[in-house]
Structure 1
């Protein structure tokens, strides 16, 4: 059901690759709620993904841009304002990638060149996007900027690797830039900490299927789906949340407030019958 929450609003959505992408789902909901926007991703992602279909469905324009490249971002923002007819009202940053995860490097044995890429793509790009928008005065007063995060920024999760560091940096950037953007131009900046979600990017995290099962057992309301995350993002783009800024907002069915649930405990007790013996080296993940 549509409520016209974004009627007349304009934006830029980063990261829609295929229908599994949260950015894809946000774009669909934003269109249903009356928004117009441009879609952006790297040139390679636009060639390999299905974003052109989304652009056709939402009557949007595709603009190739590397979010780590300031010149690309300047061109993206300039073109977006020309296409949309003025300043924008919202930005979604749904970007994350770790070469260390993709290459199977353990957190205790990171490739530091890969780590720099992880941080640049997954977190520093968020700062670059906002810095470019601020310098170009591209966002209307009471606009809203959102980046997608995960609870691994606060807690340790097996297999999440250096993406946890990136998410922690991402949330810090939201607070630091949120203060500046808020005081100067009443622009809101928040991160949404989503449940583990089966996306193309998420599939690279070791043990994602088990992580999702654990989240489902721990959360009183169960894992939040990508579609539900899109609904939440729409409310944050809307005028209904004008005084929400500099927050990391957990959208995870209550997982982040849990210590142990009965469902998770019962599963754990079943697993005790075949406990992993790390002393004799039989466990493949002794140090994970």
Structure 2
């Protein structure tokens, strides 16, 4: 069911790779709610993924851009405003990648050049997006910018590695830039801390299946799906949340407020075998 929450609005969606991507679901729903969108990703990701199918379905143009490149971002925002015939109302930042995770390097044996890439791609790119947009005055008054994050920014999660550092920085950027952009231009900036979701990027984290199962058992409402995350994004893009900014909003079925659940404890107890050993 469509509520026309984004009727007449224009937006840029970063990070749609394939149907597994949360950004893909957000793009579909944004258009269903009345928005016009531009899709963007790196050239390599565009070649690897199926974003052209999404563009056709959403009647959207694809503009290649490396979010770590201010030059690419300037072209992206300039062309998008030309396509829309005006300023942009919403932006989704759904970007994350860690070479250390991909290479299987543990946190206490990080490659620091890889760490720089992790931070640049997964967090600093968010600052570059915001700084470029502000420089060009590309986002309309009461516009909304949302970035996707994860609870590992606050809690240590097994094998999440240096992506946790990146997510912490991402959330800090949302607060720091949110104050400036809100004060000067009325633009709101928030992050959504989503349940572990089986995306292409998420599936690259060691033990991700177990993490999803654990989170499902811990969360009183269960894990939030990619489609449900898209619903939440749309509300933040809409005029219904005009005074929400600088927030990290947990969208995780209650996981972030839990210590231990009955289902998780029951499964934990099942893992023990009777033993009279003394060690």
TM-score, normalised by the number of residues in structure 1: 0.95
Structure 2 vs 1, CA of residues 274 and 6 (structure 1 numbering), >3 Å: closer, same or farther?
A: farther
Determine if the alignment matches structure 1 residue 119 to structure 2 residue 119. yes
1:11-50 paired onto structure 2 within 5 Å: 11-50=11-50
Aligned to 2:132: 132
1:265 aligns with 2:265: yes
SS at 2:273 equivalent: helix
Pairwise CA distance, 1:142: 0.3
Q: Which residue of 2 aligns with 1:215?
A: 215
Shift of 1:206: 1.0
Look up the match of 2:64: 64
User: Over residues 205-252 of structure 1, what are the superposed CA-to-partner deviations in whole Å (9 max), with x where a residue is unaligned?
Assistant: 111000000010000000000000000000000000000000000000
**Separation in 2, partners of 1:274, 1:78:** 67
1:52 paired with 2:47, answer: no
Q: Give the aligned partner of residue 149 of structure 2.
A: 149
For structure 1, list consecutive stretches of 5 or more residues without a partner in the other structure: 280-288
**1:74-124 superposed Cα distances (whole Å, 9 cap, x missing partner):** 000000000111100000000000000000000000000000000000000
Q: Distance in 1 between matches of 2:81 and 2:53?
A: 22
Deviations, residues 256-284 of structure 1 (Å, cap 9, x unaligned): 00000000000111112299xxx9xxxxx
Separation of aligned partners in 2, 1:105 and 1:273: 33
In structure 2, the residue matched to 1:197 is 197
Aligned ranges for residues 68-83 of structure 1 at < 5 Å? Answer: 68-83=68-83
Partner Cα separation in structure 2 for residue 209 and residue 195 of structure 1? 13
Write the distance in 2 (CA, Å) between the matches of 1:85 and 1:60: 14
Change in Cα spacing, 1:108 to 1:274, as seen in structure 2 (3 Å) is farther
Q: Distance between the aligned counterparts of 2:193 and 2:272, measured in 1?
A: 31
Unaligned runs of 5+ in 2: none
Aligned residue pairs total 276
Secondary structure class of the residue paired with 1:272: coil
- Aligned mates of 2:140, 2:92 — CA distance in 1: 15
Matched with 2:248 is 248
Distance 1:93 1:25 in 2: 13
TM-superposed deviation, 1:14: 0.1
Q: Secondary structure at the match of 1:249?
A: strand
* RMSD of aligned alpha carbons: 1.0
1:237 maps to 237
The structure-2 alpha-carbon separation of the partners of 1:274 and 1:133, relative to structure 1 and needing over 3 Å to count, comes to: farther
Counterpart in the other structure of 1:174: 174
Tell me, in whole angstroms, the C-alpha distance in 1 between the residues paired with 2:17 and 2:84: 22
